[in-house]
Chain A
Amino acid sequence: MRISRLLFIVFLLNSPLLRADPLRYEFLLLPSASGVGTFDRRAPNTQLDDEVLQADMILSLQKGPLKLFGEYLLSDHEGDLERLQLGWQLSDDTVLWIGRFHQPTSVWNHDHHHGQYLQTSITRPSIDEWEDLGGVIPQHFTGALLESGRTVFGSWKLRTAAAVGVAPQITPHGLEPFDLLHPDSDRHQMGYQARASLHPGDFTETGVGIVLANDELTAVGPTPSWLPNFDHVNLKLVGLFAIYAPSDWKITSTVYYADTKLYYGPARKDDSFIVGYIEAERNFAYDLTGFVRWEDSYGANSSPYLHLFEQFARCRRVAGLRWDFVERQALTVQFTNSHTLDGRYSDIRLQWSAAFF
């Protein structure tokens, strides 16, 4: 098997398309530093494990239609290979990736990934939170991702993505994606995702779309007492989203319907819930941007699946102000009021973020 892989790579590197093209690269550093203080604490867990210092590093190599893309996040409490993708650019608008990627059904993460500078608010919506920060939807998969686009209805653009890959596991500490650098031999199951969105042009973020996912999440480690012999979860997700982004405004709205089946012992617990958010951002004079976000849910309190995640915020209100004080550097202050499944708390955050080539 290893010899065949080696022969395949040698074949690729010797193909005429690759030999004719020089190796080109891009490196992007997205550092950030933030501080958070909580008050009005009425919840046992107030999600204080956010990073204080982090550096998100992105490296992209390209030779002919072959691409190697990686994202490594280094923070004061972790170092993670977030994305490592080998891609083949099949046409101007189509690329096939294999490796570890961010699944395409998270609207927020598909747009922003880990770089703090590229998102206006300091925190992301609770439904789109990363696995190691208490996220409830699996975000990192290892497999294949096909991204494509085509012009429709004259000048409109239809963008699509489909993915299949090894899904994260459910552990007592939350979801844990497959680690490419330290692969484990535990049982992993698969996940499938698809996304389609329609935009009025090639260069606008304005558009509407739909996302679909069907993920099987294996349970490992000690299981909760109310789920004896917990085996796995089947998570089905359907989502709709809309983005309106004229020059001074950006409004992002997303709603997900989730259907979960928890398999334990000889039995099964079924539930469903709806989670959504709307965020409005407005540019002002002096490079200031104000933002507000409202996150809410329906059926979250009675969901056995969501009770596996202590930090999930079933309802959250966010408001803040960002100041791009010099080129590619910003200061942001944000106030948040969160309601988890067993309490509530408020916090205020301050962040510096930047982007350097």
Chain B
Amino acid sequence: MKRRAPQLVILLCLWAQVYAASHTLVLVVRADSKVTALDSLTVRKLFLGLPVLIDGTPLHPLRNRSDSQLDPIFLQQIVAMSQSAYDRQILIGVNRQGWLRPVEVNSGSRLIETLYADPSAVTFMWLQDVAHNPKVRVIRELWSD
């Protein structure tokens, strides 16, 4: 038993690393969405509330807040600013131009329902949650640990 303990610890560490490596955040749309590609600057604009049009129709950003781990990634990797700077940017956009802030969704099931219902919706989810979903299309990888 004593001999197996170190092996068990090593196995647990390996499993933890594999599990952690599977955390990849991806940008997703409905499968039949007209969106084919969005560069990081456009994604940043979209989630700061700036208008992004595809064939004359504005895209609708959905901020995924179903997992508390997503908030720091959203701020650091997607909009690249602090929470207070993000809040201020959103307020300024509404005040100056009437821009709409991204809709915030706190439940994973509601987020996927909203995405199914709206061909202009764009959101971000863990890859493992959408990998085999034929109704959702991955546009790009946003972050991976």
Name A's B-contacting residues (CB within 8 A): 17, 20-22, 24-26, 28, 30, 58, 60, 62, 64-65, 67, 69, 85, 87, 89, 91-92, 95, 110-113, 115, 117-118, 147, 202-203, 327-328, 355, 357
B75 adjacent to chain A (CB < 8 Å): no
A111 CB contacts on chain B under 8 angstroms: 96
Against A, the Cβ 8 Å flags (1 = close, 0 = not) of B82-94 are 0000010101101
- Give the A-binding residues of B (Cβ under 8 A): 41, 44-45, 48, 50-53, 56-58, 60, 81, 87, 89, 91-92, 94-101, 118-120
Question: What residues on B are CB-neighbors of A328 within 8 Å?
Answer: 87, 91
Q: Compute how far the CA of A21 lies from the CA of B51 in the bound complex, rounded to whole angstroms.
A: 14
Given A17-B57, A92-B53; A118-B91 close (CB under 8 Å): yes
Known: A62-B100, A202-B45. A28 touches B56 (CB 8 A): no
For the complex with contacts A58-B94, A85-B98, 18 further pairs of A-B residues with Cβ separation under 8 Å are: A17-B56, A21-B57, A21-B120, A22-B118, A28-B91, A58-B98, A64-B57, A65-B56, A65-B57, A65-B58, A69-B97, A89-B58, A91-B53, A92-B52, A113-B95, A115-B95, A202-B45, A328-B87
- Identity of the chain A residue whose Cβ is nearest the Cβ of B120 in the assembled complex: A21
- Please indicate the chain A residues that have their CB under 8 angstroms from the CB of B56 in the complex: 17, 64-65
A-B contact number at CB 8 A:
75
The one of B50, B58, B97, B119 that contacts A64, using a Cβ cutoff of 8 Å = B58
A-B complex: 6 closest residue pairs judged by Cβ atoms? A60-B98, A69-B98, A26-B100, A28-B94, A17-B56, A89-B51
- Please give me the residue from chain A that is nearest to B56 by CB atom: A17
Residue from the set B57, B98, B99 with the largest chain A CB neighbour count within 10 Å: B98
Taking CB atoms, residues of chain B closer than 8 Å to A85 are 98
CB contacts (< 8 Å) of A60 on chain B: these are: 94, 98-100
Residue of B nearest to A111 (CB): B96
Docked Cα-Cα span, A112 to B97, in Å, equals 11
**Bound-complex Cα distance A202 to B52 (A):** 14
A147 to B96 Cα, complex, angstroms:
11
Distance A87 CA – B58 CA, assembled complex (angstroms): 14
Q: Which residues of A contact B92 (CB under 8 A)?
A: 118
- Residues in chain A near residue B99, CB distance under 8 A: 26, 60
**Nearest B residue to A102, CB-CB:** B96
> Complex: how many Å from CA A64 to CA B58?
6
Q: In whole Å, how far is A243's beta carbon from the nearest beta carbon of chain B?
A: 13
Contacts of B48 in A (CB 8 A): 203
Bound complex: CA of A357 vs CA of B93, how far in Å? 13
